[in-house]
Structure 1
Amino acid sequence: MHASKGDRLVVHGRTVGQEDHVVEIVEVLGPNGNPPYRVRADNGHETIMSPGPDAVVDHRKASGQG
């Protein structure tokens, strides 16, 4: 998995009816774009994530990014 600051991380719901969780990558902490990532949710909460196989990087920049 490779990501850059401003990319979106999409964690797919694990059960039927569970929505995807989308967060913005605000800092890449691993070497060469690899996890872990500091991410920010829509509500402003930040955390550090090492995404699993149920996550994908959306390289389109998050809204508000240039």
Structure 2
Amino acid sequence: MHGNVVGQAGRKAVIVEVRGPDGAPPHVVRFGDGHPLFVYPGPDAVVLPGEPSG
């Protein structure tokens, strides 16, 4: 997610759970510090495909 105020750094997270139908939000993401967050990605977020698990 891009910072949404001047001087705020962007943050990276991994989607760990998708709760909406067909991959839609909301998503549960985990940041590098291990902090989970329930999000609806907005215009300040970029969702990129990751490596397949399993």
Determine whether 1:22 maps to 2:8: no
Determine whether 1:36 maps to 2:3: no
Which structure has the higher relative contact order (CA within 8 Å, separation 6+)?
1
Q: TM-score w.r.t. structure 1 length?
A: 0.67
Q: TM-score w.r.t. structure 2 length?
A: 0.79
Q: Structure 2: any 5+ residue segments left out of the alignment? A: none
Determine whether 1:47 maps to 2:37: yes
Q: Distance in 2 between matches of 1:39 and 1:20?
A: 15
Deviation of 1:17 after TM superposition, in Å, equals: 3.0
Identical-pair percentage: 49
**Where has structure 1 moved over 6 Å in runs of 4 or more?**
none
CA RMSD of superposed structures (Å)? 1.7
Q: Distance in 2 between matches of 1:15 and 1:40?
A: 22
Q: Distance in 1 between matches of 2:17 and 2:50?
A: 16
Q: Structure 1: any 5+ residue segments left out of the alignment? A: 1-10
